[in-house]
Copies of this chain bind each other. A is one copy, B any other.
Amino acid sequence: MKYIIGLDIGGTKIAAAIADESGKTLTTINTPTQAKKGGDEVSAQIVSIIGELLKSTRVNQKDLKNIVLGVPGQIAKSKGLIIIAPNIKGWENYPLQAKIQKHYPNVPIIIENDANCAAMGELYFGSEKEFKNIVFLTISTGVGGGIVVDKKLYSGANTMAGEIGHMPLNLTNDNDYKCGCGRFGCFEAYASGVNMAKRATKRITELGAAKDEYGKITLELAESNKSKISSIVLSQAAKQNDKFAIDIIKENAYYIGIGCVNIINVLDPEAIIIGGGVSNIGDLLFDEIRKTVKEHTSMVSEVKTEIIPATLGSDAGLLGTIAIGLSE
């Protein structure tokens, strides 16, 4: 029997697991990331966690199929390099693979971007259906994605595939839709949770006291502080039937839907699985996304791509590292 070790390395915590070839997890470890102490310190943490997992399960190093490291940043996979991971100090052009390989010279070490890991996690362990081709979207502070073709990650020519947050959604020069990347009109600039909240804050300010029922609950939940309006506040207000919050969420769902239409017209996946904080809004959001997709893909055949919520939440990344280990 061979074993897989997976680590989901976040800016605040590291989740790790060792699993057997059937995908069954033997044991897990959760520990805070020493992100501020610098990249080498985090590398040392990784080595020590791998050691602990092996020790506690009495699995021998030579029985490892591979070790998969999910990292919160951009990578050059073939070089085993982290190009940039903004939340971990010093992980810039950082040769993570080589650093870990030194300690486990005979075990294949795979590094992968965290959104890609989550995509594989949702495909292998999250969905009840046996999908082969999916796109995973994570919509929270930003918008990220991962593409799975034939049950394997599709990384593109430059391991840049899945930079879906920076698809142009609109031809605009409107500063309200200036993206963090410096360009205008990116999918992320329309659809992310932060941008939904920003739009809500701006709209409610413009409304003033003119229509005080409209948005009243949103404001109350934000403790009368417009800048405290978040996707969570909007979600709660919508559940209490606040028309303002419902309108903002529907508008956001429309933007997410148009992004999905883009993806469907290029890739026609079996499903688009949507996770991240914004997805927790639930049916109100998903119904409107599905409606938008239906209206904007009026080609000859009916589009069959399912739009479904992610189910694994914050476990998607860790389970994804195991899924990648299994699939390699």
Task: Mark A residues whose CB is within 8 Å of B.
Answer: 74, 76, 83-84, 133, 147, 149, 154-171, 181-183, 258, 261-270, 296-301, 303-305
Contact = CB atoms under 8 A, between A and B. Distances in A.
Q: Which one of A166, A170, A266, A270 has the greatest number of beta carbons of chain B within 10 Å?
A: A266
A157 B133 contact: yes
B171 A170 contact: yes
Given A298-B181, A298-B183, A301-B76, A156 B267 contact: yes
Given A183-B296, A266-B147, A133 B160 contact: no
Given A160-B299, A300-B84, A304-B158, A170 B170 contact: yes
Count identical subunits in the complex. 2
A92 to B, nearest CB: 10
A160 B158 CA distance: 25
Nearest to A163: B265
A303 B156 CA distance: 11
B268 A266 contact: no
8 contacts: A83-B301, A154-B267, A160-B303, A168-B258, A168-B261, A169-B171, A181-B298, A262-B266
A266 to B, nearest CB: 5
Contacts of A300: 74, 83-84
A168 B305 contact: no
Contacts of A168: 169, 258, 261-262, 296
B167 A265 contact: yes
A268 B161 contact: yes
Q: Which one of A149, A163, A183 has the greatest number of beta carbons of chain B within 10 Å?
A: A163
B266 A157 contact: no
Which 5 residue pairs are nearest across A and B when measured between Cβ atoms? A156-B268, A161-B268, A157-B270, A160-B268, A167-B265
A181 B301 CA distance: 12
A157 B305 contact: yes
Given A84-B300, A171-B169, A258-B168, A161 B74 contact: no
Given A171-B169, A183-B296, A162 B83 contact: no
